[in-house]
Structure formats: structure tokens, C-alpha cells
Amino acid sequence: MENYLIAMGVSAGIYALMALGLNVIWGMAGLVNLGLVGFFAVGAYTSALLTTKLGLPILLGVVAGAGMGALVGVLVALITARLRGDYLAIVTLGFAEALRVIASNEVWLTNGTDGISGIPGPFRADLGPVGFNLFFLILVAALVTAVFFAFERLSYSPFGRVLRAIRDDDQVAAVAGKWVIAYKVQAFAIGCAALGLAGALYGHYTSYIAPEIFVPLLTLYIKLSLLAGGVGNNRGAVIGAVLVVAFLESTRFIIPLLPGLSAVQGAALREIIVSGALIVLLRFRTQGLVPEAHSHPLIPRQPGAAAKESPTHA
Amino acid sequence: MTGSTPLLPRRTALLAGMTALAAPAVSRAQGTSAGAPLRLGILTPLTGAGGFDGPRMLKAMQAVGEEINAAGGLLGRRIEFAVEDDQTNPEGAVRAARKLIDVDKVPVIMGTWASAVTAAVAPVCWESKTFLTTVSGADSITQLPHQGYLIRTQPNNHLQAGKHAEFIAGTGAKKVFVMSLQSPFAMPTQNRVREVLAQKGAQMTGALLYEKDKTSYRSEVDQALRTRPDLIYLNGYTPDVTILLRELYRAGFEGPRFAQSYSVTDKALESLPREVTEKVYTVQPSSDVDSPAFEAAKKRLGTGVDSYEAQATDWISLVALTIAKGREATGTALRENVRKIAQGEGTKVYTAVEGLRLLGEGKEINYEGASGPCDFTEIGDIVDCKFRYQIVENGAFRFLKVA
């Protein structure tokens, strides 16, 4: 049981990293990115290929995975510079699917649909399965904490304020003299670096990646995480990710207790519950469980400052 | 330190939540003492692309489980299944496998379907010394460093292509051309066909790869005909094979063509003129339809039994017999003992119940399954499998043989 909880902790940590990345792009800058899983795949493939084919150290692979995620993020941001809202969502969704098709067909590089197996994990052989599991949980937890504090700092910096200004109205931000596209590109780069990092970690943890892992279902889980936790809020991103994994996993234990349900019906019910939860959240709690804070975490809001609620974006 | 007070109840809540999560598992996974049910893992696709085959495989396994329980169980214990959905998704499947291994403590996981799912779940299994049985067909699966913790009942690509080539040589064709759709199966198939044809005194005069979704394959057809083949092997899916058949006819090729059953369907026959499809051979892996094991599976399920249901029947039967043989329900014991009841000189048995009875009498057995003889190589591939051959005559299939 402990081993299982630890493994789910690792899953939650990887989801949390992705949710944090999405929060910069979507929560802070207001750019709808449905291609999350594409950047996740870029990080996973980069690190997996560098460590298996070139034999580079895992640390280097992971850093390169995050870097490549950022680079591709910049590229996509530049290509979609003029798109907003639904249009941006469609293009990013298409981008992730295109990447998946490339990964299935460029066999010389990615080994096609067979996927890449035997990706090394840090100290996997020395620690044994249980020890490795625990070590990886500590590693992922440390990384989530680091990224959380970095993004939290970012969020309350002048840079973060500009991103939020762009999210609320990019024309106003432009009139105020901000170079909107440059900010959007940077938001994409930073967010996608976190996504790439998550992907690289995923590959080294499970030791196997294949194009079929990078399907839109995972994007939806992360989106659900951020929606549940609270869009625009790093704490919400982490809490939401943990909640989604706990929710997905706890249904495994609860559904068999329901009388008169076959395994097939149970599996379908799990999917219904997930979709139902999303609908309920969107209807009744768009701001998520932890709404976006309106004042600085350390410096309280000045009395008399405009206390008007800003509209939430969901 | 004002933040620490509200943290405490939250931590308590988390602990309570975790305990609640664990409670049903604890109550169900009570030890391994005699009399307690023996829990086996099933991980099939119940949703996603495999959602058609998964539930039927599950049902086939449950049916055998019930039969064994009715006959007195296994090692004096009732068989109970822990069932999870692999979602036809490697990421979800790994989480599900973790639950089966770490919470349900199952010695075996039966049922992964998609090759990517199997490849993702396999490392989790062999690291945790859990046995895995699968239908995934990609050659790469059994080449993983699984240390024996994996068997598959589906013929791999190598075996399929070899059988195809034997059949082709048997038709009297001397010069064969292979046209393959670009896919993971394309190159391994061509290589194996070349090898076996050469052994059988025929020759592969050439081969090519083509892209899917083209509206015409005229240049590919010309390239094939230039080598003057007696027979052309079309290794693709329905859309492209349909076009190829038509263009081969137009180009005046009158020799036989050979294709997988899934690419030449009833629909395809309807859409093409009779002259175009005349003398097309089709092949598919077949259950051992004449075997008593297949007959028993049919009776048990009360319906027609397809290849996947037959294979699922064989997994649970093999697993039950192996556990009875080794008198131990662990993944490692399964790995060590599965070949002692699946192959060898023992009395042939066709169902789990029959085998359990003979094992109880201290006899050696050799399980012959519904899907085939179920003899395994070192790396967990089946040694042999039957194939079903048909030929198209006058726009309709005529059954040739299962061999």
C-alpha cells in the first residue's frame, strides 16, 4: 500500500508541475493552451533520446528536456502570436496532435509506435524498486516546491503583474507601453519549460515513453487540476493536481463497493464522474477551491485601494 | 508562525483521507492464509480504443474462474479477480497496474491489449516480480528485458510473416513481390517473408513501402509488375488495399494476391467488381477451432468465441494450473513453473478444471488451449499458432483451411 501511495505521489507531483506550467500560460497570461501534452512529450522525448542514444547523464537530459520545452514553447507562441481564445486553443491542440503523429512516424529518431523503453532512472538499480520509488517522490516533491516558489515570486513581480494586465485586457497593456507579444512569448517559454521538465521526469520515472501516452486525455486531467485548484493561482495548481490524482485513484476503491455494477460499468462510471466533476466545478465554482489572491502574499493591500473583484477567467 | 495553526487540521484531514482510501483495501486484502480467496489481477481495456475487446476478454476469464471455483477452487482457495481498466492508455495503465501490484498484491496481471500499454506496464511488473500475460503483437514486446515475467498468446509479427510465406510458397508461387503500408510491422514482415520464401525454394523478387491515404498507387504497381511476380502480397489496411487491388487489375496483373483478412473485408468485396477480387487469398490468426479447449470455451461463454476470448481463456487456465503445479501463488513461481504445464510430455488437457484434477492425482500435464497449443519460447512467445486461410471466388469468400 505504501508503495502505491508513493507512486501516486509521484504522479501527483508530475501533474502538479504541469499544472504550474499551465498556470503561467493560462492562469496568469490568459492564453488558452490545449497543447500541454505536446510540450510534455517534447521534454520526455528530448531527455529520453539524449540519455538512451547519446548516453548523456540524466541530469543533463532533464535540463535539456525543460530547455527544449521552452524553445518549442517560444516557437509555438510566435506562430500563434495573433491568435487568441478559441483559435489559439484549436491551434495548440493541433500542435500536440501533430507532434504525436511525428513521434509515431519518424521511426529513425523516436522508434515509432514501439516507443522508447529502458530509459534510465537516477540510481534505479542501486535503490531497488521501492527505494527508487521513494527517492523519486522526494526528487519530484523538491522540484515542485522549487518551481512553486519560483513561479510564486514571478507572479508577484512586475513581470507577473504585466501578464495579468495582458490577460485582463491586452490593449490596455499595450497602451501602457508594454510590448505584449514579448510578454506572451516569455509566458509560453516559462510555462512550457515546466511542462518539458515534467515530461522528462515522467520518462525517467516509468522508463518507457510512446506516442500513445501523449493523448489529449492527459491535457484534460491537467486542465481539470487547475480548474479545481483555482486558475491564476500557484497554490491552487498544486492542490488541484493532488486532488485530481486522489480523485482518479480513490474511485478505484469506491466503485467496487457499489452493488450491482460490473467492471465495465464501473470503468464507464469513473469517466462519467470525472466529466461530471468538471461540469459541476465550471458551473458552481469557476474560481476553484483556492481563488486567486488579490493582495501580495507579504505586503498587505493598502486600505482604500480599489477592492473591485476582477473577473475570473475559466 | 500564524500559519501553523490552520495547517494542523488540514494534516489531520489528509491523514483521515488516506486512511479512508486504504480502508477497503485493507479489509479486502486480508493476508494469504488458507481459506482466504486467492486474488488474481486483470488489467484489460474497458474504455478507449480497446473497449470492444477488453470486456469480452474479462468475461472469458471470469467464466473460467467461476468454473474453477465451482470445482473446488485453487489450492483450496476461491479465485477472486481484482479488475482494473487500462483505459487503452499507457499512463493510466501504469497507475492501475501499481494499484493491482501494491494494494491487491496480485501475483499476475492478465489482459493488456495495446502494445504501448503492455510496454509501459511490463517494467512495473518485472521490477515487482509480477507475471504478465498479453495479446499485444509487436515483436518488440517479448524483446524487452522482462526476465521471464511475460508471456503472450498472440502470434508475433515474425511468426505471422513466416506462416504467410509458407502458405504462399505452398500455392506454387515462385516469384513474390511484397507491398507494405508504412507501419511498425512493414519491415519485419518483409524481412521474414524473404527469409522463409528462400528456404522454401521460392524468391521475393522485390518489396516496397507505400504511404497511406494516397488516391492512386499507379507508380507503386508499375514498380511491382516490373519484377514479373507470380504473386503479390499486399500488407496494408482496407483503404489502400482496395485501391491497390483495382489498379493491379487495370494494369493486367492476373496472378493471385495475398492479404490479411482485416484488409479485405466483406465491405471491400461489395465495393469492388468480381474480376478485381478474384483469387485473392486472405489470412488471419485463428483459434484452434477443432480443439476440445475451443469447444469448452464456446460452451462456457454460450456464444461464438473469437481469438481474444480464446487467448483470455488460456491465460487464466495457464495461471491456475501453474499455481497448482508450483503450489505457490507468486509471480516468480509462475515464471518458474508455467512451462512445466504448458508444454512437455505430460497428459494433454484442454480445460483448467480437468488439469487441476490430474495435477491433484500427481500426474504431469500439458495444457492445450483454445487459442492454440500454448507452448512458449524462452522469451515468452508462442511457438506455434493456427491460421485461417480463405480465397475469394466470384465475389465471395471460400474457406480453405485452418492450419
Query: Does residue B262 sit in the same domain as residue B306?
Result: no
Question: Does the residue B313 lie in any domain?
Answer: yes
pLDDT tens, residue order, chain A (314 aa): 889 999 999 999 999 999 999 999 999 999 999 999 999 999 999 999 999 999 999 999 999 999 999 999 999 999 998 888 889 999 999 999 999 989 988 889 998 888 999 999 999 889 988 999 999 999 999 999 999 999 999 998 999 999 999 999 989 999 999 999 999 999 999 999 999 999 999 999 999 999 989 988 899 999 999 999 989 889 999 999 999 999 999 988 988 888 888 888 998 998 898 888 888 888 888 888 888 877 666 666 666 555 444 455 44
What pLDDT, on the 0 to 100 scale, is given for residue B324?
95
Q: Would you state the pLDDT for residue B23?
A: 46
Residue B192 has pLDDT above 50, yes or no: yes
Per CB-CB distance under 8 Å, the chain A contacts of B87 are 217, 267
In a domain, B376, yes or no: no
Report whether pLDDT(B259) > 80.
Answer: yes
* Closest Cβ opposite residue A252 in set B54, B89, B99: B99
Predicted local confidence at residue B25, as pLDDT: 44
In a shared domain, residues B68 and B139: yes
Q: Mark whether B111 and B165 lie in a shared domain.
A: no
Whether residues B146 and B229 share a domain: the answer is no
Report if residue B266 sits inside a domain.
yes
Residue B91 · residue B22 · CB < 8 Å: no
Q: Which residues, in sequence order, are CB contacts of B252 under 8 Å at separation 6+?
A: none
Does residue B146 fall inside a structural domain? Answer: yes
- For residues B278 and B191, membership in a common domain is answered with yes
ipTM of the assembly? 0.86
Pick from B196, B207, B129, B131: which is nearest to B168 by CA?
A: B196
Q: Is residue B5 part of a domain?
A: no
Q: What is the pLDDT of residue A114?
A: 84
B17-26 average pLDDT score: 47
| Number of neighbours of residue B237 by Cβ within 10 angstroms | 15
Please tell me the predicted confidence (pLDDT) of residue B8: 44
Chain mean pLDDT for chain A: 90
Answer yes or no: do A256 and B115 touch at CB < 8 A: no
Mean pLDDT of chain B: 88
Contact B103, A3 (CB under 8 A): no
The domain in which residue B89 lies consists of 38-156+289-367
pLDDT of residue A290: 84
- Please check whether residues B137 and B251 belong to one and the same domain: no
Between A132 and B290, name the one with better pLDDT: A132
Rounded distance between C-alpha atoms, residue A143 and residue A14, angstroms:
10
By the CB < 8 Å criterion, does A106 face chain B? no
CA A224 – CA A281 distance, rounded (Å): 9
User: Amino acid identity of B180?
Assistant: S
Residues 217-246 of chain B with CB under 8 A from chain A are none
In a mutational test of the B interface, the residue from A107, A213, A238 whose CB has the highest number of chain B CBs within 10 Å is: A213
Residue B83 lies in a domain: yes
Q: Would you call B47 and A271 a contact, using CB atoms and an 8 Å cutoff?
A: yes
Element (H, E) at A143: helix A124-156
Q: Which residues contact B205 (CB under 8 A, 6 or more apart)?
A: B175, B176, B177, B227, B228, B229
CB-based contact, A270 to chain B, within 8 Å: yes
Q: Is B99 on the interface with A (CB under 8 A)?
A: yes
pTM as predicted: 0.82
In a domain, B314, yes or no: yes
**Spatial distance between the Cα atoms of A312 and A226, rounded to a whole number of angstroms:** 13
Is B150 in CB contact (< 8 Å) with chain A? Answer: no
A3 and B98: CB-CB below 8 Å? Answer: yes
Give residue B33's pLDDT band: very low, low, confident or very high (50, 70, 90): very low
Chain A residues within 8 A of B25 when measuring between CB atoms = 1, 253
Instruction: State the Cα–Cα distance between residues A103 and B67, nearest whole angstrom.
Output: 45
Regarding whether B397 and B256 lie in a shared domain, the answer is yes
All residues of chain A having their beta carbon less than 8 Å from the beta carbon of residue B42 are 263
Minimum-distance CB partner of B90 among A2, A210, A263? A210
Partners of A117 on chain B (C-beta within 8 Å) are: 119, 123, 140, 144
CA A245 remoteness from chain centre: 13
Q: What is the pLDDT of residue B24?
A: 45
pLDDT class of B403 with cuts at 50, 70, 90: confident
For the ranges A295-304, B55-64, B72-81, B336-345, the lowest mean pLDDT is seen at A295-304
How far is B185 from B389, CA to CA, in rounded Å? 20
Domain identity same for B186 and B266: yes
The pLDDT value given to residue A73: 96
Put simply, whether B130 touches A (Cβ < 8 Å) is no
- Give the pLDDT band of residue B186 (cuts 50, 70, 90): confident
Same domain, B97 and B189: no
Higher-scoring residue by pLDDT: B8, B331: B331
Question: Structurally, how many domains does chain B consist of?
Answer: 2
Provide CB contacts within 8 A for A102, sequence distance 6+. Answer: A110
Query: Could you tell me the CATH number of the domain that includes residue B312?
Result: 3.40.50.2300
